[in-house]
Amino acid sequence: MIWNAVIFGPHDTPFEDGTFKLTIEFTEEYPNKPPTVRFVSHMFHPNVYADGGTLGEHRTLAVILVWF
C-alpha cells in the first residue's frame, strides 16, 4: 500500500511557506517493519538525503516530523 502525503512548512521556520510532498510505502510486514518514506519534493534537511529524498535506513517518519 502506498500513501501520498503533504507536509506544510510550519510558521517561523526556514520551511515556512514550503509544501513538501512524500510517499509512504507499507509492505506486508507492517507493523513489524516500518514503512519506507521518500520525499518527492526536493528539499534541504539534515535527515533527508540530497538525492531527492530517501530517508536513512534507521530513520522513521516520526523522527522527521519532530524536526518540523
Q: For residue 28, give every residue at least 6 positions away whose Cβ sits within 8 Å of its Cβ, in sequence order, or none.
A: none
Domain spans in the chain, listed from the N-terminal domain onward = 2-67
Q: The domain 2-67 belongs to what CATH superfamily? A: Ubiquitin Conjugating Enzyme (3.10.110.10)
pLDDT given for residue 66 in this prediction: 56
Q: Average pLDDT of 1-9?
A: 94
**Residue 26 pLDDT > 90:** yes
Q: What is the pTM of this model?
A: 0.68
- CA pair distance 60, 22, nearest whole angstrom: 13
Better-scored residue on pLDDT, 25 or 52 = 25
